[in-house]
Structures are given as C-alpha cells and as structure tokens.
C-alpha cells in the first residue's frame, strides 16, 4: 500500500501526460528526444533531457531547467513560449507586469512575448450616421463581432515601434509625459524629427538610452553627433552625450497611454540632478555586467529588487517567483544566473528586460528554438467567447482609429485595468474623444480614447502643486455625470 508521501499530485501527472502527447504528435518518444538532446548538446550539457524525465516530472516539487525546456522546443520544433506554458509559465505575464509594476526608472515593455495565436474579441463599426462625432461612447458606434486570432489583426510594419513605461525618477519630459504613463516610440521618425541645426531643441520627444538607463525628453543638438537631453520643468543635469558611443536614439514618442486615476509626483534623483560623466554603452556584456547594469538602471538596491520580486510573486500567486536579496547578489558577483524558469521571469519583470536578451545572457539563442505554434488541443489557450451581433453599417470610425494608431497593443490587454485602478475594462468604459480639439483639461489634448470609470461619480481632487494639476478637477467635474476619466490614449506631438 502506497504511503501518503508516495501519492502523485494530479497537476504533475497532467503535465507528464501532456508532455507525452506533445512529443507523440511529432512522432517522438522520450527516449528518442533524450537521444537527440545528447547528439545536439552532449550528455553533460544542461540541455540534456534524461531518459527518466517523466519520473522527475511526477515529483510535485520538480520543474525542468530553462535549458531543458529550450531543448524540447528545439527538438519538437514547437515554439519556446508554448513549451513554457506547458510547465506553468505564461510569458505574457512579463509585459503585463512590466506595465503594472511601479517604476523608479523608465523601462521597456517586451511586446514580442504576445501570443499571436490567442483569440481576442473584435469589433466593427455600426450606425446610420457616417459622420465621426467629436466625442462618442464606443459602445454606440462599434459592435462586437466575435473572437479573432491576434495574428490575423497584426500589420507587417510594426517592428518600428517600441513601448516603455515612464519612471518617476527620470521624468525629463514632464509635464508633456506623466510618470507611470506608457509611451510608444516610432524609430522611423528619428531622422525627420532630429534638429536640423546646432543649438536647436527638438519639437518632438525622443526615447533614448545612455549609461544610466532609458529616458524620454526633447534633445538639443550641439553638433551632428552630440546631443543634450533637455528638461522643461525639473532640474536635471545638462550632460553632453556622443551619439552611438554614449547614447542611442531608439525612437520618437508618438502615443501615450496616460493614467489620470493614479497621480504620481515626479522626482529627480541626486545622480541625475548633478553633472555626471557619461560612460560608453556596452555592446557585448558578460552576465555579471548584464545583471548589474540592469539593476542599476532600474534604480534598485538588492533589497528593493527582492521586495519587487515579492510583488511579482503575489501577482502570479506563486512563491517560486520570489528572489532573496542574497540570491540577487550571488547572480551578479558570481556570474551565475538562475537556471529556474520562475526566477528568470521575475528578473525580466522587475528590471524591465526583454526575455530574448535575458535568454541570450545565459547562452540561449531563440534563433534555434522551434517556430511552430502548438495546436490548441495540446495547450491551454484563452479563447474569447463568440458574440451574436446585429447587422452593422460601416461608419469609418474603427478604420480611422486603426489608421491613426497603426498598431493595436494587444500585449497590454490584461494590463490596462490594473494600470488605471479598475477591476476590468470593457467597450462600455471607452469613449472616442479624437474629434474634441478644445478639451477642458490640457491633459486630454490630442486625445484619441478615454477610459471612464462609471463607478466613480465624484471628481478626484489633487492637492495644489506647481504643475497645475488643479485643472484636472474642472475636467472631472464636467464629466461627473457619466463617471471619472481614468485614462486616455493620446498622440504625443
């Protein structure tokens, strides 16, 4: 009779059976996969798949290393994120938490982790009036048509866009951009937006990188290859940066998702308020340099990084994501990053790292991963419920909106509601405001969409400060009959 300690958890058994089905769909047994991993990588390699892997998977506390999961992807030709999902890692949690976590310093959001095979609700225009009204609830002009695969809605020219969350400690572009906002930068606008003559300040806001991290601001041209980031309100040190050597222009900010519900005051840290000597950007970094620089650019100490990992652990309801301060120190000083799946995901969330660069730092190249999406029958994918709609008449609003924004940030679909302090966001919360050219609140200037919190009827009052936030109270009062504005999508010109 088996003892309690010998009982198998249903979860571990399910994972084992699923791995068997996935390999069988490619005509592989575990023995064959093990032999192929030995031939590709060697038996002493961390990529090697042992012939008793199924036995290990049935142990409740066991999780394969990230190298072994990568080997499964390479051998089966199924894509790496799908294999991670088999073992309980949802890579789309990385951009979601990168957007949600409060940040001291600006960090990129990894949009490449979006599940292109996932299905999302989609819409079409309706209504008898072809004119686009200045302000309108989207529920009156758009109708849900049913789920569509994300891949069918993507455009081919969206690689030019980067997304970043503005940190509270480096709000050089305040008040044009707010701390906590998510901005989109267009790489194709760099040439035409760069100042044409010396001593001219750019009209557009640039996203750029230097040795202290990522920043958004206007730039003053000193010469063709030297710039100075320019702040308009806060006392940042004016430091000359040599392009390509000490600074790299990543794009021009053209859209901003601005939260009006959670007001953050910008701060200027001491190391950015004083004059400082720029360092050259590192191209090829060791794992020690990679992790140390990532933590430094995030503005975090070991203890603060550990506390942020607790936020990730709580959000994902999994203690395996938590990092001790001593472990973070060991990763940097010894140059031995975590091999576990959960720890590496946590580092990406806390530091704002791209998953591909984190994998590259530990010797994994995604170029060698599988490229085929797993069939829905082998993996759990969220499938949007179909909806039955009435016949719709095209008003052109949806087409106009898609033409304006060019790319829909589907990777933020689970992050928007927590970002603006709401439980969930539906089409009933969205208002088109793109035709209102004289808004009551200057923060709604160039706005395209507004998210309205219908549950809040009283306007939000902020304490007086020198940046004019009291104007926002007037806007809230004017819209209090329908709710309080929680966020806007606006063009950043």
Residue spans per domain, the chain: 7-86, 119-152+384-491, 158-273
Position 475 pLDDT exceeds 60: no
Q: Residue 383's pLDDT is what?
A: 53
Position 204 pLDDT exceeds 70: yes
* Closest-CA residue to 493 (of 433, 441, 448, 452): 448
The two three-digit tokens of residue 264, written as one number: 């953050």
Averaged pLDDT for residues 174-195: 91
Averaged pLDDT for residues 56-72: 88
Position 84 pLDDT exceeds 50: yes
Higher pLDDT, 277 or 396: 277
Q: Which of 232-236, 339-343, 444-448 bottoms out in mean pLDDT, i.e. has the lowest?
A: 232-236
Position 476 pLDDT exceeds 50: no
Averaged pLDDT for residues 198-211: 92
**Number of alpha carbons in the 13 Å side-chain half-sphere of residue 483:** 18
- For 212, residues 6+ apart whose C-beta sits below 8 A from its C-beta are 271, 272, 276, 296, 297
Q: Which of 322-331, 338-347, 376-385 bottoms out in mean pLDDT, i.e. has the lowest?
A: 376-385
Q: Residue 429's pLDDT is what?
A: 86
Q: Residue 12's pLDDT is what?
A: 64
- Residue 8: pLDDT band (50, 70, 90) is very low
- For 342, residues 6+ apart whose C-beta sits below 8 A from its C-beta are 63, 89, 318, 320, 321
- Residue 371: pLDDT band (50, 70, 90) is very high
Position 13 pLDDT exceeds 80: no
Higher pLDDT, 369 or 416: 369
Q: Residue 81's pLDDT is what?
A: 92
Express as a percent the part of the chain with pLDDT over 90: 40
Position 393 pLDDT exceeds 50: no
Q: Residue 486's pLDDT is what?
A: 66
Position 136 pLDDT exceeds 90: no
The per-residue pLDDT for range 331-360, each reduced to its tens digit, is 998 888 787 889 999 999 999 999 999 999
Position 45 pLDDT exceeds 70: yes
Position 323 pLDDT exceeds 90: yes
What integer best gives the mean pLDDT of the chain? 83
Q: Residue 75's pLDDT is what?
A: 96
Q: How far is CA 78 from CA 39, 85, 91, 286, in A?
A: 19, 12, 15, 29
d(CA 337, CA 323): 12
Position 379 pLDDT exceeds 50: yes
Position 415 pLDDT exceeds 50: yes
* Closest-CA residue to 235 (of 318, 169, 153): 169
Position 480 pLDDT exceeds 70: no
Looking at the domain that runs over 158-273, which CATH code has it been given?
2.10.109.10
Element (DSSP H or E) covering residue 416 = helix 416-419
- Residue 202: pLDDT band (50, 70, 90) is very high
Q: Residue 328's pLDDT is what?
A: 94
Q: Which of 194-203, 292-301, 427-436 bottoms out in mean pLDDT, i.e. has the lowest?
A: 427-436
Phi-psi region of 472 (alpha: psi -120 to 50; beta: other; left: phi over 0): alpha
With beta carbons less than 8 A apart as the criterion, state whether 179 and 167 touch.
Answer: yes
Position 466 pLDDT exceeds 70: no
Express as a percent the part of the chain with pLDDT over 70: 87
What 8-state DSSP symbol labels residue 203?
A: S
**pTM of the predicted model as reported, rounded to 2 decimal places:** 0.86
Q: Residue 343's pLDDT is what?
A: 92
Q: Residue 72's pLDDT is what?
A: 96
Q: Residue 130's pLDDT is what?
A: 54
- Residue 95: pLDDT band (50, 70, 90) is very high
Position 9 pLDDT exceeds 90: no
Averaged pLDDT for residues 155-162: 82
Averaged pLDDT for residues 141-170: 86
Position 468 pLDDT exceeds 70: no
Q: Residue 465's pLDDT is what?
A: 44
Question: Angle at CA 231, nearest 5°, toward 212 and 185?
Answer: 70
Position 293 pLDDT exceeds 80: yes
Q: Residue 294's pLDDT is what?
A: 92
């Amino acid at each position: 009779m088996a003892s309690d300690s010998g009982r198998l958890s249903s979860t571990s058994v399910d994972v084992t059976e699923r791995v068997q089905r996935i390999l069988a769909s490619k005509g592989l047994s575990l023995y064959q996969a093990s032999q192929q991993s030995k031939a590709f990588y060697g038996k002493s390699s961390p990529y090697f798949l042992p012939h008793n892997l199924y036995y290990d998977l049935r142990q409740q506390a066991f999780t394969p290393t990230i190298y072994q999961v990568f080997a499964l992807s390479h051998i089966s030709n199924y894509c790496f994120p799908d294999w991670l999902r088999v073992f309980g890692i949802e890579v789309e949690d990385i951009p979601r938490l990168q957007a949600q976590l409060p940040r001291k310093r600006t960090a990129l959001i990894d949009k490449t982790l979006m599940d292109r095979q996932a299905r999302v609700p989609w819409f079409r225009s309706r209504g008898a009036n072809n004119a686009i009204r200045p302000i309108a609830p989207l529920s009156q002009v758009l109708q849900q048509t049913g789920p569509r695969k994300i891949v069918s809605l993507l455009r081919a020219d969206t690689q030019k866009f980067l997304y970043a969350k503005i940190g509270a400690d480096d709000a050089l572009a305040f008040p044009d951009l707010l701390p906590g906002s998510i901005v989109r930068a267009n790489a194709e606008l760099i040439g035409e937006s760069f100042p044409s003559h010396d001593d001219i300040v750019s009209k557009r806001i640039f996203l750029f990188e230097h040795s202290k991290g990522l920043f958004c601001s206007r730039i003053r041209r000193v010469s063709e290859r030297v710039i100075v980031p320019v702040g308009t309100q806060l006392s940042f040190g004016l430091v000359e940066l040599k392009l390509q050597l000490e600074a790299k222009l990543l794009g021009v900010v053209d859209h901003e998702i601005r939260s009006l519900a959670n007001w953050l005051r910008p701060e200027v840290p001491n190391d950015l308020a004083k004059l400082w000597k720029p360092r050259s950007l590192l191209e090829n970094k060791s794992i020690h340099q990679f992790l140390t620089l990532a933590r430094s650019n995030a503005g975090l100490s070991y203890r603060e990084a550990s506390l942020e990992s607790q936020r990730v652990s709580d959000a994902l309801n999994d203690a395996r994501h938590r990092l001790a301060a001593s472990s973070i120190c060991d990763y940097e000083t010894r140059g031995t990053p975590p091999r576990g799946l959960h720890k590496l995901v946590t580092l990406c969330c806390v530091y704002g790292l791209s998953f591909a660069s984190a994998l590259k730092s530990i010797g994994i190249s995604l170029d060698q991963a599988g490229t085929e999406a797993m069939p829905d029958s082998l993996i759990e994918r969220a499938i949007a419920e179909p909806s039955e709609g009435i016949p719709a008449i095209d008003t052109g609003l949806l087409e106009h909106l898609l033409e304006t924004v060019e790319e829909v940030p589907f990777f933020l679909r689970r992050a928007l509601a927590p970002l603006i302090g709401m439980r969930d966001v539906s089409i009933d919360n969205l208002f088109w405001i793109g035709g209102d050219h004289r808004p009551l609140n200057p923060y709604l200037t160039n706005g395209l969409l507004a998210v309205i919190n219908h549950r809040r009827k009283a306007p939000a009052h902020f304490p007086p400060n020198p940046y004019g936030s009291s104007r926002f109270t007037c806007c809230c009062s004017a819209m209090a009959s329908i709710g309080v504005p929680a966020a806007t999508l606006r063009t950043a010109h």
